[in-house]
Amino acid sequence: MISHDGLAQEDYKLWLQYSKIQDSKLASQYQSEINGIFALGNSETIQVASKELQLGLSGLLGNKITVQQNSDSENILIFGSKSSLNTDILSSLQNEFEQINNEGYLIKTISLKNKNHILIAGKTDVGVLYGVYHFLRLLQTNSSIENLNIVDSPKINVRILNHWDNLNRTVERGYAGFSLWNWQKLPDFIDQRYIDYARANASIGINGTVLNNVNANALILTPQYLEKVEALAKTFRPYGIKVYLTARFSAPIEIGRLKTADPYDTAVQNWWKEKAAAIYKRIPDFGGFLVKANSEGQPGPQNYGRNHVDGANMLADAVAPFGGIVMWRAFVYSEHDVDDRAKQAYSEFVPYDGKFRNNVIVQVKNGAIDFQPREPFHPMFGAMSKTPLMMEFQITQEYLGFSTHLVYLPKLYQEVLESDTYQKGKGSTVAKVIDGSLENHKITGMAGVANIGNDINWTGHPFAQANWYGFGRLAWNPYLDSEVIADEWLRTTFSNDLNFVNPVKEMMLKSREAVVNYMTPLGLHHIMDTGHHYGPGPWVSNLSRPEWNPVYYHKADKKGIGFDRSKTGSNATAQYATELAKLFDDVKTCPEKDLLWFHHLSWDYKLKNGQTLWNGLALKYQEGVDEVAAMQATWNKMGNYVDETRFKEVQMLLNIQLKEAQWWRDACLLYFQQFSGKELPKGVEKPTQSLEYFESLKFPFAPGNN
């Protein structure tokens, strides 16, 4: 990858460092097993694979790799798609090819004319490319490449990044600089960054990108912009990445000069059909549309007395002739609906089950509120048996301290994916819902709201790169363990030295729980300051819509704290399967991590550890702060294993995180103490400022709030 300056080289290269292998015995073993590479075929994708192998192997092994014209000599790395293999090889691999889908691959040690070789093959060239990245990862993580027999395929079809990028290059909830897409210079100037972006995504199996914000601007659909989108699509194509766009529902009015955007209006239907045809003429493999409609002020079918099915199906019909899909977001809640916000998406969408076209997939956030540090899984998962649902995770840390806090999110993703919906009995996990296996859905997807900007290190925090990486790995296989992913990422990004890998991996795995503790312990949620969501704001109560105010969610008063969603409260528990509703309803069986999500409890309520709720809450806040201090102590010992630039960056960021964790603890406990009327328990540090001080703070510099 290119370098913007010498010092930042490592930062920019992400997990594709390809640093020289330090273990000389292992390096010479690898060298003896790879005498050269031989490409079968010459497509753009195979050329990309060949280039990546040359770059990776020369970096890892410290010498130039020869590109062979044949496989006559021993130990050649042969790569190509099924159609390019000779009949001898093909006949011996029939069984393996039956096990993979169109994006899958096999990496095998084979014998050809009594000579040993390594073969990387797939049904398609993109499958081969994915196999090449897997093979390079084996070397990067110092794994054995003897007697290889790897057969792998993605378990989810649409593995996509949602960029909340505006056309003026600001990024909503973006904490890593401006948008990558330089619309002014496109289509004629293709920044090396676009290519490196595609490489990074292909290396973890991401196969789609939505270029523009869900709060969309109709201009993206004009010929002037489509020409630029076409240039990006062409750049990404060899890497197996399809381009998608967010469609603004009112585009027929704003750029089409129609008087309405009513999905029942024939002129509107025809406008979208013509628009789709024009896009596909430019970009034959265009993926389709993402839509945010009738949510937070965005236009949608309800503006015309129609419903989500009407809107989604109209767009689906427009892209269907070209093989496109529509991802229709379920993130809806209305200021006119007085019901618990956590219930609204379920109430609105579940009655439509089975009514969407078969090229519509409903995109559902992992929890029912909004990307909180912890939420129980969204009750829609498993509740719509006739409709494919795709997962929407947030990679950018809107409610998790932005890119100044080290939070390893695959831990959060795994918690959600492993959650059991019980919708078809025990074992009906969220992962089985979204990979289609629970209801045998043909179209499956996982979206991640990207944390990528034009910062030299892409994500604003060196460790935030792990969240992009981990998202891709879990979209490929939602059953992977977040610990395995952390191990891979540390080895490919920093070092294989176990004195580094083991303690830093432990730090990563604990980091998400630390954030929950110092922000929203025991099921608290959405108590961030208003608008920018930077820092604590449990006191905010003056916003025009009740469900925008933190006081709506914690309901702290003299009697206690928490949102009663049990059958005695909003009855949100009834949206879950009977087994879970029963579990959540009963305060004795409700998991303590979700306690205040489902129950309003007295300050004197006894927790399982014997502490009162007030003491337990205060001690959790302190525990979060202590965990950040422990992360600092761990990192401070790692200077010998990491380049100085990244070591210092992380050190400075952890300093910020510790300060902000203390701020969260102090501000929240002072605020809640007004209601509990109780002293802080022993072991909790006393705040150094007053509540009035914390309430007076303003943050005009908070990023990402466009």
Active site residues: 296, 370, 398
Helix (H, G, I), strand (E, B) or coil at 572: helix
Q: In which order are the strands placed within the sheet that holds 105-112? A: 36-39, 76-81, 115-122, 105-112, 149-152
Classify the C-alpha dihedral 109-113-115-117 as positive or negative: negative
Distance CA 610, CA 616 (A): 9
Residue in the structure block whose two tokens are 């300050």: 603
Instruction: Provide the token pair at 616.
Output: 């337990």
Angle of helix 44-61 relative to helix 24-33, nearest 10 degrees, comes to 140
Q: DSSP letter at 394?
A: E
Beta-carbon contacts of residue 661 (< 8 Å; ≥ 6 apart)? 514, 518, 624, 625, 628
Do 564 and 570 touch, CB atoms closer than 8 A?
yes
Rg (the chain; Cα; Å): 26
Q: Which residues pair with 150 in a beta bridge?
A: 107
Do 384 and 349 touch, CB atoms closer than 8 A?
yes
Helix (H, G, I), strand (E, B) or coil at 308: helix
Is there a cis peptide before residue 187, judged by omega within 30 degrees of 0?
yes
Q: In angstroms, what CA-CA distances link 55 with 23, 37, 589? A: 19, 12, 55
Q: Got the DSSP string for 473-537?
A: HHHH-TT--HHHHHHHHHHHHT---HHHHHHHHHHHHHHHHHHHHHHSGGG----BPTTT--SB-
Do 474 and 485 touch, CB atoms closer than 8 A?
yes
Task: Give the CA diameter of the chain.
Answer: 83
Residue type, 193: R
Helix (H, G, I), strand (E, B) or coil at 678: coil
Do 182 and 189 touch, CB atoms closer than 8 A?
yes
Helix (H, G, I), strand (E, B) or coil at 166: coil
Q: Where are the beta strands (DSSP E) in 30-182?
A: 36-39, 76-81, 105-112, 115-122, 149-152, 158-162
Strands 158-162 and 560-561: unpaired
Beta-carbon contacts of residue 445 (< 8 Å; ≥ 6 apart)? 156, 157, 158, 159, 160, 327, 361, 363, 388, 390, 391, 434
Residue type, 643: D
Distance CA 348, CA 621 (A): 36
Distance CA 13, CA 643 (A): 13
- How many CB atoms within 10 Å of residue 22? 11
Distance CA 431, CA 640 (A): 39
Distance CA 565, CA 287 (A): 39
Classify the C-alpha dihedral 296-297-298-301 as positive or negative: positive
Helix (H, G, I), strand (E, B) or coil at 101: coil
